[in-house]
Structure 1
């Protein structure tokens, strides 16, 4: 996978430990792609409870700073960039999944784009 050169956002990701149901081998190598859900409610209101997602999309992340073994500051990008843009704002929470397993939670810290460039419309 190629590095993320033009990320849509920056985020803090916290990987769930293997004993708590996270990835069996800990955080992945990078860049990393998986499934992302945007919860309807703030996850801190219901710790450990999966909120019903508005929709699920593919997310790409690449670390820019390792705060600890399980907490990363990352660049964030999406394959469906135009569809995701209205869902991105500072403080927005995300759930990262591998199959049925929640492997990490994240919070958007900065949104870096305001409009998605579509070469088909130029």
Structure 2
């Protein structure tokens, strides 16, 4: 995929370093990166054992932020599953298998597009 044509939101994304358990090769360089994402519940603490629902996420870097994070367009392969979890300041993790590779915070939501009739 070359471009994310209908993003659902923008997010500030912090890619974890290899030392933090992130990608050995650093942040992805593909125009649109596909992975999985989970929205941890605010009620979950590090001591809680919980199974998170993983969603397929699409990430397209659009700018570098002054704090070192990336500003990215965010989309989901099944938007209706993600939409209830999305709100400004919502936090989610981006994963590759069981490994968390990035942490993200929603900055802006885009309205749903109207389906073609």
Greater strand share, structure number: 1
Structure 2: tracts of 5 or more residues without a match: none
| Equivalence for 1:73 | 71
| Equivalence for 2:61 | 63
TM, length-normalised to structure 2: 0.86
Counterpart-to-counterpart distance in 1, 2:47 and 2:39: 11
| Equivalence for 2:3 | 3
Q: Does 1:39 align with 2:37?
A: no
Would you identify which runs of 4 or more consecutive aligned residues in structure 1 move more than 3 Å?
Answer: 49-54, 115-119
Q: 1:55 is paired with a residue of what secondary structure?
A: coil
Counterpart-to-counterpart distance in 1, 2:4 and 2:41: 27
Change (3 A) 1:50 1:39: farther
**Matches of residues 1-122 of structure 1 in structure 2 within 5 Å?**
1-30=1-30, 31-41=32-42, 49=46, 52=50, 54-67=52-65, 71-113=69-111, 115=112, 117-119=114-116, 122=117
Q: 1:60 is paired with a residue of what secondary structure?
A: strand
RMSD (Å), alpha carbons: 2.3
Q: How many pairs align?
A: 115
Structure 1: tracts of 5 or more residues without a match: none
Greater helix share, structure number: 1
Q: 1:77 is paired with a residue of what secondary structure?
A: strand
Preserved CA contact (<8 Å) 1:39 1:53: no
